[in-house]
Amino acid sequence: MEIKDKIIVITGGASGIGRAMARRFTDEGAKQIVIADLNADGLQEVADEIGARAIPTNVAVEAEVKHLIETTENDYGQIDLLCNNAGIGVGGGPETPNQDWQRIWEINVMAHVYAARAAIPAMVARGDGYIMNTASAAGLLTQVGSAPYAVTKHAAVSFAEWLSVTYGDRGLKVSALCPQAVRTAMTADNPDGVASVDGMMEPEVLCDSVVETLREERFLVLPHPEVLTYMQRKSGDYDRWLKGMRRLQEGYGNFDWP
């Protein structure tokens, strides 16, 4: 897919990766960009900067996601690229309160389900459309210190895989964006965390990989190429990989509970 002349929806568009993608897609010549976020003020600032359409949206609420998709389709005819990018992080393990588990599940996973449920019928009907779900390298590997994040990002990757398998021969293209540490509000409080072992990437640099992968229509978007090597090591010898991850965890503190 070439970005030029496309109609694009981006959730989490007020900051971080979403904002960077909105700017980059504008530079690439997108016909119309619609950005959504819970942060209405920040969203409008980005929209005013690049000439995008701002639709404040809580992606954890299906009715609001449905409104985002339907409004875009009604006003601009179709959605060429849907970027399910909004996400949050929650630390801890099994002791993490139920409400935190539920919140991260709704935003990191169910928001993708809601968006797909609303957008796929029109895409399949015309035999063309693209969905890119922002997951994480944590969805391919794991996240030291955060079971909720690791679990939900694995689920996000799994759902994207399922969409590709199920609808790939009916015109739907699917990618999963799986970076390691990116300089966003989510990483601001822990810039030297384990996810930054291969360096902290600026979101603008990440967009190079996004545009390239969309152009080639590949499934995995890997801004940190090291992740592919880690995946191969994991699948090649799972037990050895687990031992290595335990050693990595030791270098970043004790996350045992209780």
Segment 92-116, tens digit of pLDDT:
999 999 999 999 999 999 999 999 9
User: pTM of this prediction?
Assistant: 0.91
Dihedral angle sign, alpha carbons of residues 158, 229, 179, 206: negative
Question: What pLDDT does 252 receive?
Answer: 67
**Closest-CA residue to 196 (of 233, 154, 143):** 143
Question: What pLDDT does 181 receive?
Answer: 84
Is residue 121 in some structural domain? yes
Q: What is the dihedral of CA 74, 19, 227, 105, to 10 degrees?
A: -60
Question: What pLDDT does 187 receive?
Answer: 54
* Tokens encoding 128: 């063309």
Is residue 239 in some structural domain? no
Q: How many domains is the chain built from?
A: 1
* Tokens encoding 225: 């190429």
Is residue 234 in some structural domain? no
Question: What pLDDT does 188 receive?
Answer: 47
**Closest-CA residue to 171 (of 179, 182, 163):** 163
Catalytic residues: 149
Is residue 241 in some structural domain? no
| 61 CA to centre of own chain | 17
Question: What pLDDT does 106 receive?
Answer: 98
Give me the residues of the chain with pLDDT under 70, please. Answer: 184-198, 252-258
Is residue 171 in some structural domain? yes
Q: Containing domain of residue 43, as a range?
A: 7-225
The amino acid at residue 69 is I
pLDDT tens digits, one per residue of 121-130 = 999 999 999 9
**What CATH number should be reported for the domain holding residue 136?**
3.40.50.720
Question: What pLDDT does 251 receive?
Answer: 77
| 126 CA to centre of own chain | 25
